[in-house]
Structure 1
């Protein structure tokens, strides 16, 4: 969570791999499973999400 605070304070974006916000985490529903996420600068974040959704052949 500390790294997330640094990314957000620097103006970055953090989301799950579908582009949905990761935070705040629903602690009542959290089962301890790993949470895949993407953290990047806003422009790079959008480009990386697009690449994840439609990988180049």
Structure 2
């Protein structure tokens, strides 16, 4: 069953507080570097996820 929007918002805030986004960013940066893809920044990652959650 899909998570509700309030649950996604809570998860987003919890992951922001516990540095999960930083770990995800590091993973994607290593992958992107290996693939020769333009870099992703923490600000861009949080902005994209925030827009997905907030609508």
Same fold flag (TM > 0.5): no
Q: Relative CO higher for 1 or 2, CA cutoff 8 Å, sep ≥ 6? A: 2
| Structure showing the higher strand proportion among its residues | 1
| Structure showing the higher helix proportion among its residues | 2
